[in-house]
Amino acid sequence: MVNLWKAVSFLSVNPNVFQECRDAVKGTGIQIVNKTPPCYRPQPTKDAIDKLNNILNVQNGLRLGLYELSEINRWLQQDSLESNLTAYKNAMGLTAGSNNGVLEAAGAVLYDPEFLTDVENSGTPGELLRQNGFTVSDDEARTIQTQIRTAPAKNAAQQFVSLLWSGSVCLGRLKMYGAYSHTNY
C-alpha cells in the first residue's frame, strides 16, 4: 500500500504525468469480464496496465505492482479525480519537491481515516509516522499534522475516499496486537 499512497501523492504534484496517464488509458482502460460477479467485471486491459507501467514505473521510477496499477487505472476513469487530487495537494501543501517519505505519509492519511486521526492527535507525530514506516523528519511530520488539522485537508480526504471506494474503507496499516501473537513450543 505504501507505493500506492506515494503514487497518489506523486500524481497530485505532477499534473503532466497525471494527464499522460489519463490519456494513455483513455478508451482502453477497462474491459468487462462477463464470467465473473458484477463487482469484479470492470477490469483493466493489459494494454492499459502496460502503458501505466511504462509511464509510472519505467519513466518515473515508482515501484508499482499489478494491484497498484489496476487501482490507478480504475481511478483514472473518474472525471472528478483530477480536481480532487489538486484540492488534496493544495490542502496538504505538497509540491513536486516533496520527498518520498512525505508523499507516502500524505497518501496514507488520505486513505486511512483512523491513521489521519492518530497523526492529528499525536503529541509526537514524527515518532508516530516513523514507527509506521515513514521516513520523515520531525518538522515534516509537524507540517503534515498541521495540514490535516484543517478542514480543507479533511474534506479533500473524505471526498477522495468517497469518490474511489464503493465499500467500507479498509485501514491502511497493519497493526500487530500482542494478544494475536504467540509462540508454540
Residue pair 52/25 in contact by the 8 Å Cβ criterion: yes
Kindly give, in sequence order, each residue whose CB lies less than 8 Å from that of residue 12, ignoring residues fewer than 6 positions away: 18, 85, 86, 88, 89, 94
Q: What digits encode the pLDDT tens for the residues 109-123?
A: 887 888 888 999 999
Q: Please give the full DSSP string across 5-56, using - where no structure is assigned.
A: HHHHHHHHH-HHHHHHHHHHHTTTSEEE-TTS-GGG-EEE-HHHHHHHIIII
Tell me the whole-structure pTM to 2 decimals. 0.76
Q: What digits encode the pLDDT tens for the residues 125-164?
A: 999 999 988 999 999 999 999 998 888 888 888 887 777 7
pLDDT of residue 20: 95
Residues 159, 149: Cα–Cα separation, whole Å: 16
Residue 97: all three cell numbers together = 519537491
From the list 2, 12, 22, the residue with the least C-alpha distance to 91 is: 12
